[in-house]
Amino acid sequence: MSRIRDLEGKKVAIIGLGASQIDYVIGRENSAVWDEVWCINSSISVFKCDRVFMMDPASRYLDTEDAGNQTDVMRRLLPNFDPAIPIYSCELDERVPAVVEYPINDVIGDQKCAYLNTTVAYAIAFALYNKVGHIDLYGMDFSYKHNLHFAEAGRACVEFWVSRCISNGVSVGCSPRSALLDSNVEPHERLYGYHRLDDPLLATPDEDGHWLVCKRSQFTEAQAQYNFQKVELPAAPEPYKMISANVGVEVGTVGVATSDNGGHPPEFWANRAIEQIAGISENAPPHIRQQAEAFRQQLYEVVLRNMKSAISSDRTTLAYLLNSQGHADLAKILKEL
């Protein structure tokens, strides 16, 4: 398959299955546009797109239960999917006319690399092969701060191909809620080593792609100078039960949780806060529940981020007081916690 010349220099959004796909929706609601939208696997059940990447054979969905919860929706969609929208896969299947073979030989030959262990990586490699100008990644989460026991394989491979894109002049954007490229990590915590300083360094690009490295204390000035934009939270979708002026106060159930060798971590308290801020109706339709869960994840990240900032700020104040009173050893212990 030769290169698709119409893709050269174009702006593309790629939508995966993670919770941060909500940022694509928010972008659309705020007039963001892309030349093409590419979907990964069953995200075609929700989003309109121009191309699909499904590197598993169609038989995995049509003949087995191996795809888990994606099985039923893909069985409904694949046989009747619009053949004008290509579904790139590892083999053809006459039951799914839209399926075309992924140009594996061309991509590997061009890139001199065969490190491809997840469907998202294939989509990014395809974009690089076709010389797109910009890629925005949504729903590529791989791991979640509030659940350290859950992680998907493939993050390293995706970040490898993102790095190749950047090295070849393709700009890449990522949802601030995604773990990809540490996008959901506070800016002052991203540069290892420097994050331990009293005034840690931040590294961030401006609108032209030039990188600024500055101390945290200088960040407010840099925001004005480089026109940084703050991501605002959207309004809570139904069926969230939010606190409002016309809702009566109820006495809730008091819960007690114990811990060994210290108090609970910020993640615990962030979860408790989200449980009290918003609940999801048991009768919510599945598609509404999915949106609500994504919004709940978004709230969790904001609450956790601010909790950590509050803890860090308080420790900095205490360390200063201890130092000023001659307790440098205690101040050092406090800063290392």
* Total number of domains in the chain: 3
Which of 164, 199, 226 is the last residue before a domain boundary? 226
pLDDT at residue 319 is higher than 60: yes
Q: Of 196 and 36, which is predicted with more confidence?
A: 36
pLDDT at 163: 94
Q: Is the alpha carbon torsion for 274, 278, 283, 288 positive or negative?
A: negative
DSSP assignment of 304-324, as one string? HHHHHHHHHHHHHHHHHHHHH
Instruction: Kindly state whether residues 91 and 201 are assigned to the same domain.
Output: no
Instruction: Kindly state whether residues 256 and 293 are assigned to the same domain.
Output: yes
Instruction: Kindly state whether residues 193 and 307 are assigned to the same domain.
Output: no
Q: Is the alpha carbon torsion for 176, 181, 184, 189 positive or negative?
A: negative
Helix (H, G, I), strand (E, B) or coil at 239: coil
For the entire predicted model, the pTM comes to 0.65
- The length of the chain is 337
Helix (H, G, I), strand (E, B) or coil at 137: strand
Instruction: Kindly state whether residues 114 and 133 are assigned to the same domain.
Output: yes
Give the whole-angstrom CA distance, residue 320 versus residue 215: 18
Q: Of 276 and 138, which is predicted with more confidence?
A: 138
Domain boundaries, position 12: 5-183
pLDDT at 262: 61
Instruction: Kindly state whether residues 179 and 260 are assigned to the same domain.
Output: no
Instruction: Kindly state whether residues 195 and 268 are assigned to the same domain.
Output: no
Nearest to 274 by CA among 240, 314, 308, 245: 240
Instruction: Kindly state whether residues 330 and 207 are assigned to the same domain.
Output: no
Instruction: Kindly state whether residues 200 and 115 are assigned to the same domain.
Output: no
Instruction: Kindly state whether residues 197 and 130 are assigned to the same domain.
Output: no
Q: How confident is the model at residue 140 (pLDDT cuts 50, 70, 90)?
A: confident
Question: pLDDT tens for residues 32-51?
Answer: 999 999 999 999 999 999 99
* Rounded to 5°, angle at Cα 233 from 213 and 211: 15
CB contact at 8 A, 126 and 170 = no
Instruction: Kindly state whether residues 19 and 151 are assigned to the same domain.
Output: yes
Instruction: Kindly state whether residues 82 and 151 are assigned to the same domain.
Output: yes
pLDDT at 69: 87
Instruction: Kindly state whether residues 222 and 281 are assigned to the same domain.
Output: no
Q: Read off the DSSP letter of residue 240.
A: B
